């Protein structure tokens, strides 16, 4: 058994052993071992040239990562938590995502940016954002959201091989997740995955909401409703084919998204289903999202604000009852 955290660490270790151009940089990634202990022990193995602690200046070190990528290196930049990435929005959105286009294909930015996302750990409003939907809006970026131990390991290698910038969103509640590392090879970062087959309703989730959807599917099975669970895995570009194929089989869809409902990734997926599979639906698409409030600190309020399995079950009951 391996934890999600250990899988990420082993993926970085394998990448650095395989390619001397790969290095890790970010706040506290060195002697401290990373705020979430992902890089623990890597400094001792690879040294300070390849495991680089940075100042508390996200715009600066993301910009340095962009420059290194443009000059032939393969940097992995850790931005700690998604809210801190807002301090580097100009670098990510105006530089990394656009340089290939603005240079007439003369320059690519083969950069990987890792960051923690999501709530559920009582870190209050400023450290509990789910902003991956923001970044999924931006052409020029690939957005990954590993929801399993195997994907936590296997997504890094193809991300590093991508000639354009890739952002990996690691949900903070998953670091202690145990699981079998099924295959220590690269995974397909172009396709969603069917995590549970079903016939009655499609539950669409990713990252931290995958477990919510799977738990809800178990509860629904006890009531005789067989839910198919789709793990999006890649949020940009979305795998429409897998999603629409499932909806055409089950004729119902519920999207489980920890982002806020307004202007959300769930809204985009709902629109695509309506555009591409409207006449296959037996009920309107439903969305289970976080409450539209800054994330509360008290645990009971935080849990009330987040999508829960019972919320998903209730949504399915509305469309199947």
Q: How far apart (Å, rounded) are the C-alpha atoms in residues 123 and 110?
A: 32
Whether 314 has a pLDDT exceeding 90, the answer reads yes
Whether 98 has a pLDDT exceeding 90, the answer reads yes
- Entry field: residues in the chain: 321
Q: What are the strands of the beta sheet with 142-144, ordered from one edge?
A: 51-53, 22-26, 74-81, 112-117, 166-171, 142-144, 234-236
* 163-207: pLDDT as tens digits: 999 999 999 999 999 998 876 778 999 999 999 999 999 999 999
* 288-307: pLDDT as tens digits: 999 999 999 999 999 999 99
* 148-165: pLDDT as tens digits: 999 999 999 999 999 999
If residue 288 lies in a helix (H) or strand (E), which one and from where to where?
Answer: strand 286-290
Q: For residue 253, with 0-12 CB atoms within 10 Å meaning exposed, 13-18 middle and 19 or more buried, which class applies?
A: buried
Q: What's the pLDDT at 110?
A: 98
Q: What's the pLDDT at 321?
A: 74
Cβ atoms of residues 65 and 25 within 8 Å: yes
Residue 280 φ/ψ region, left for φ over 0, alpha for ψ in the -120 to 50 degree band, beta for the rest: alpha
* 259-298: pLDDT as tens digits: 999 999 999 999 999 999 999 999 999 999 999 999 999 9
Phi, psi (deg, nearest 5) at residue 75? -75, 145
Residue of 6, 27, 78, 127 marked catalytic: 127
Cβ atoms of residues 31 and 71 within 8 Å: no
Q: What's the pLDDT at 310?
A: 98
CA dihedral defined by 253, 130, 147, 217, rounded to 10 degrees?
A: -30
46-70 average pLDDT score = 97
Looking at the chain, list the stretches that DSSP marks H as alpha helix, in order from N- to C-terminal side.
Answer: 4-18, 42-46, 58-70, 82-85, 89, 99-102, 132-135, 149-154, 156-161, 209-222, 240-250, 265-277, 299-305, 309-320
Residue of 6, 27, 58, 78 marked catalytic: 58
Q: What's the pLDDT at 194?
A: 98
Cα angle, residue 151 at apex, residues 146 and 156 outer, rounded to 5°: 90
Q: How far apart (Å, rounded) are the C-alpha atoms in residues 164 and 97?
A: 8
Q: How far apart (Å, rounded) are the C-alpha atoms in residues 85 and 107?
A: 23
Q: What is the DSSP string of 194-209?
A: EEE--SSEEEEE-TTH
Q: How far apart (Å, rounded) are the C-alpha atoms in residues 291 and 260?
A: 7
Whether 64 has a pLDDT exceeding 90, the answer reads yes
Mark whether 127 is an active-site residue: yes
Q: What's the pLDDT at 185?
A: 76
Q: How far apart (Å, rounded) are the C-alpha atoms in residues 156 and 217?
A: 29
* 14-35: pLDDT as tens digits: 999 999 999 999 999 999 999 9
Q: How far apart (Å, rounded) are the C-alpha atoms in residues 163 and 159?
A: 9
71-91 average pLDDT score = 97
Whether 249 has a pLDDT exceeding 80, the answer reads yes
| Beta-strand pair 166-171/178-179 | unpaired
Q: How far is CA 228 from CA 20, 77, 248, 302, in A?
A: 42, 35, 12, 27
Q: How far apart (Å, rounded) are the C-alpha atoms in residues 80 and 35?
A: 7
Mark whether 58 is an active-site residue: yes
Q: What are the strands of the beta sheet with 286-290, ordered from one edge?
A: 193-196, 227-231, 201-205, 253-260, 286-290
Task: Walk me through the domains of the chain, giving residue ranges and CATH numbers.
Answer: 2-179 (3.40.50.970), 193-320 (3.40.50.920)
């Amino acid at each position: 058994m391996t934890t999600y955290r250990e899988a990420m660490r082993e993926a970085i270790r394998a990448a650095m052993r395989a390619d001397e151009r790969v290095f890790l940089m970010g706040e506290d990634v060195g002697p401290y071992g990373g705020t979430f202990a992902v890089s623990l022990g890597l400094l001792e193995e690879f040294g300070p040239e390849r495991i680089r602690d940075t100042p508390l200046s996200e715009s600066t070190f993301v910009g340095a990562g962009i420059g290194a990528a443009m000059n032939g290196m393969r940097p992995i930049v850790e931005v700690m938590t998604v809210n801190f990435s807002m301090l580097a929005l100009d670098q990510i959105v105006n530089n990394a995502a656009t340089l290939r286009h603005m240079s007439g294909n003369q320059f690519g930015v083969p950069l990987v940016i890792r960051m923690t996302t999501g709530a559920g750990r009582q870190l209050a409003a400023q450290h509990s954002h789910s902003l991956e939907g923001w970044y999924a809006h931006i052409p020029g970026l690939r957005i990954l959201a590993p929801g399993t131990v195997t994907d936590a390991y296997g997504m890094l290698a193809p991300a590093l091989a991508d000639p354009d910038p890739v952002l990996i969103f690691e949900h903070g509640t998953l670091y202690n997740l145990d699981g079998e590392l099924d295959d220590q090879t690269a995974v397909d970062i172009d396709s969603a995955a069917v995590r549970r087959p079903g016939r009655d309703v499609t539950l669409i989730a990713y990252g931290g909401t995958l477990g919510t959807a799977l738990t809800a599917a178990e509860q629904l099975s006890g009531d005789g409703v067989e839910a198919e669970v789709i793990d999006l895995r890649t949020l940009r570009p979305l795998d429409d084919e897998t999603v629409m194929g499932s909806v055409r089989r089950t004729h119902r869809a519920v999207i489980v998204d920890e982002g806020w409902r307004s202007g959300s990734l769930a809204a985009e997926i709902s629109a695509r289903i309506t555009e591409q599979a409207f006449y296959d639906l037996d009920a309107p698409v439903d969305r289970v999202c976080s409450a539209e409030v800054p994330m509360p600190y008290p645990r009971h309020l935080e849990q009330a604000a987040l999508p829960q399995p019972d919320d998903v079950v209730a949504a399915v009951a509305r469309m199947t009852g």
